């Protein structure tokens, strides 16, 4: 049986060094690694990530709305990251037959990075593969771990529809600090892994899960 343990964090906002990570195979960061996405901040995050790769086989990063350098100068920003840290911006990778897909695009939120209106998000989310095991976004889907402290749900309705259709094993995200937690709906486990709480203090622990079997069988593993 193939086993792959993933450790998920998000919204560390320049404070990743304060996070104690459990053991695992793949470290997943769902965005907002920085405060405003400057080159200096990205380099600091990259140095932290490189250190974590002494203990993890792979890392995956999907930028968030604070990570401006990845939107404005994606080639340069990705080039600053360690080789074994896969930056997923509307693309997939495969690790031990498990397929991971990431997109940073999210509903408009105060004019920050990777912001789109719902009609613009529809084709972006429609490109998510049908056989993804772990979907990684910065935005939550509508009505699932997306409630702000004022009671509003701010996730994407288009994302919710696609996730319900695709039914990945896990959907990992962050963005809404006050909705940190885990919920299961249907076949999918939803994880809001926001490390910082609503006061931007890194009080929330990393969340781990173990993949045991990919959605695809061995005959279509190369598809």
Is 199 inside any structural domain? yes
- Residue 218 has a pLDDT of 56
Is 12 inside any structural domain? yes
Is 223 inside any structural domain? no
Domain that holds residue 26: 4-216
Give pLDDT tens digits for 75-100: 999 999 999 999 999 999 999 999 99
Q: How far is CA 215 from CA 13, 36, 125, in A?
A: 33, 37, 19
Contact of 159 with 125, CB cutoff 8 Å: yes
Overall number of domains in the chain: 1
pTM confidence score: 0.96
Is 221 inside any structural domain? no
Kindly indicate the confidence band of residue 110, based on its pLDDT and cuts at 50, 70 and 90: confident
**Helix axes 157-166 and 118-126, enclosed angle (nearest 10):** 20
Is 222 inside any structural domain? no
Is 148 inside any structural domain? yes
Q: What is the DSSP letter of 16?
A: G
Is 106 inside any structural domain? yes
| SS3 of residue 61 by DSSP | strand
Which CATH number goes with the domain that contains 205? 3.60.21.10
Give pLDDT tens digits for 111-167: 899 999 999 999 999 999 999 999 999 999 999 999 999 999 999 999 999 999 999
Is 165 inside any structural domain? yes
């Amino acid at each position: 049986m193939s086993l792959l343990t993933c450790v998920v964090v998000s919204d560390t906002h320049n404070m990743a060094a304060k996070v104690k990570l459990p053991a695992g195979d793949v470290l997943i960061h769902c965005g907002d690694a920085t405060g405003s996405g400057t080159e200096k901040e990205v380099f600091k995050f990259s140095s932290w990530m490189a250190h974590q790769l002494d203990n993890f086989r792979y890392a995956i990063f999907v930028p968030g709305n604070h990570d401006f350098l990845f939107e404005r100068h994606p080639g340069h920003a990705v080039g600053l990251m360690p080789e074994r840290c896969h930056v997923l911006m509307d693309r997939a990778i495969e690790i031990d037959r498990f397929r991971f897909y990431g997109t940073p695009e999210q509903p408009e939120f105060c004019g920050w990075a990777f912001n789109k209106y719902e009609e613009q998000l529809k084709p972006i989310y429609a490109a998510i593969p049908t056989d993804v095991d772990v979907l990684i976004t910065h935005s939550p889907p509508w009505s699932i771990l997306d409630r702000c402290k004022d009671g509003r749900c701010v996730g994407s309705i288009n994302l919710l529809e696609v996730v319900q259709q695709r039914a990945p094993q896990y959907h990992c995200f962050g963005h809404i600090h006050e909705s940190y937690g885990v919920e299961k709906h249907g076949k999918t486990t939803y994880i809001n892994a926001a490390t910082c709480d609503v006061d931007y203090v890194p009080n929330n622990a990393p969340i781990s899960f173990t993949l045991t079997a990919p959605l695809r069988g061995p005959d279509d593993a190369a598809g």
